[in-house]
A and B are shown apart, each in its own frame.
Chain A
Amino acid sequence: MKEGSYANMWDTPPSYSLYETGEAGRMDYFLNQLINGICQGAIYALMAIGYSVVVGVVGMVTFTHGEVIMIGAFAAYYMFFLSGNQIILGLIVSFAASWVLGYFVYKVCYERFFNAPRHVSLLTTIGFSMLIKNLSQIIFGPNQKPMLDVVEANFFRIGAVQISELQIVIIITVIIMATLLSLIFNKTKFGIRLKAVSQDKTASYMVGINVKRVAMLGNCLGCGLGGIAGLLLAVYYQTIQATMGGPLGMKAFASSVLGGLTDVRFSALGGLCIGIIENLGITVTTASFRDMFAFGFLILVLIIRPQGFVSKKGAKV
């Protein structure tokens, strides 16, 4: 891999060393790509987890998730500037920023449309995502920005396989977030509310749950997780851009399809799969085919099992 500037941020594999040539070199390259794929897949998994929480609890499909992720990334970008690379602060701020955006998404796109046909909220989210994307281009500028290095570029080597400290930080963050979410869903009363609302809104009303409030909070929670995924992606790729949300939102959607959009565990698995497939796919082709593998996976899942691999309705963690 040669160093140099790339036209598109997605063409840039994050970190490479030079590999031996020949059969052994190919194998090492393959293994390293597997590690990269797992790391990237972990971020996709977090995006997809957020996505399926939103869809599960609100009960409507969203196309604003990409923009939510982008806002999380920009919030972190400015926070890193102000705080001098405090990663914890960055995590909090990107979670909060995306939470707030989630609140507006809820108010604009969902609140009045619970009883409307499903395509209405679909359209409102598409429209709202365009608005945010274009506003962001005005506010943040249309160009790519280099993200600050928040984690030192240290590598750990196990044989020929190398893992960067950043990758470890990312994977640990994702695991912590998924665990926290699982605790909220399974150990708290709020979790019971979230699950109840995602399974049956009428029945939730009948037991006295304030469905709209719970849907709002669930939506914000899912968006907050998306924001953290945005931070991780920005740090991983070391670039951010106001238009980065588009393909990311689609990938979150593609990952969730594995679990019928609402099963959190399968969505996470889907994200991991897409990350690995992408990174292994480009070992045999070139980096510009990255998205082809991601969406090829989506099409494959839709052909084989359009309803997803779980049968039960409602968000589960």
Chain B
Amino acid sequence: MAMLKIENLKVNYGYISALRDVSIEVDTGEIVTLIGGNGAGKTTTLMAISNLVNKADGTVLFKDRDVSYMSPDKIVQMGLSHVPEGRKIFPALSVYENLIAGTMGNPSLSKQRIEELLDFSFELFPRLKERTKQHGGSLSGGEQQMLAIARGLMMDPSLIMLDEPSLGLAPILVEEIFEMIVEIRKAGKTILLIEQNAAMALAIADRGYVLETGDVVLHGTGKDLLVDPAVMKAYLGY
């Protein structure tokens, strides 16, 4: 069953068209990755799904409901968590407050469940546990990225969209983050992953889409794309 279905998505920034015609499907329990170079429209796609940019055209169905023009916070409250690119954590909130802010998207969470989710986050990212009282802005880049992911998980979403979780991280951390993503899927989440690091993303993904200047040019299973000559040449550096 398609949990998330995007049809003919089109987004313009002024006169520049950022997305021309993007159609994507994410099934329940899958890891789906969107790969592509800079400016291909990956982040814009996620922003359009969350209705944080205006769409020129297209529909977004989430859990069989049309959310194309729903208020962004309502979409989140339906169970779609958006972990943004870079450092979109709350810099002047403590790590703990950042995580609690993450629960705002799901008002039905009980106190006990929040405790469990906190424990789960600290299990995934033990480093955050040592820094609960520290301000988000004082964390290192890698820790901020972990915090962003943990915050996205705090609402116990059914689908989590990760925007470049490995951006700007040391190689050893990148591996750690990808291991986390597999862990998160094991916990029953569906994942839509955006990555520049195509090799690693495709290695853990069930399916992948290749985006180029606002169009989906290729899609297939992660394994197929990994050995696709065009993908190898353009994104894997062979």
A: which residues have CB within 8 A of B?
Answer: 189, 192-193, 195-196, 199-200, 202-211, 312-314, 316
Contact = CB atoms under 8 A, between A and B. Distances in A.
Contacts of B151: 207
Contact of B92 (A203, A205, A210, A312): A312
B118 interface: no
B160 to A, nearest CB: 11
Interface residues of B, number: 28
A280 B195 CA distance: 62
B52 A196 contact: no
A260 B152 CA distance: 30
B27 interface: no
A313 B100 CA distance: 20
Given A192-B93, A192-B97, A196-B101, A208 B155 contact: yes
B90 A200 contact: yes
Contact of B100 (A189, A199, A200, A206): A189
Given A202-B52, A209-B101, 9 more contacts: A196-B90, A203-B89, A204-B101, A205-B72, A206-B72, A208-B76, A209-B104, A211-B73, A314-B92
A316 B135 CA distance: 12
B106 interface: yes
B137 A312 contact: yes
B165 interface: no
Task: Please provide the 10 A-B residue pairs with the shortest distance between their CB atoms, ordered closest to farther.
Answer: A208-B105, A208-B76, A205-B72, A203-B88, A206-B82, A210-B73, A199-B90, A196-B101, A209-B104, A312-B92
The interface residues of chain A, by DSSP majority, are classed as helix
Given A196-B101, A209-B104, A312-B137, A202 B88 contact: yes
Contacts of B73: 205, 208-211
Given A189-B100, A192-B100, A208 B106 contact: yes
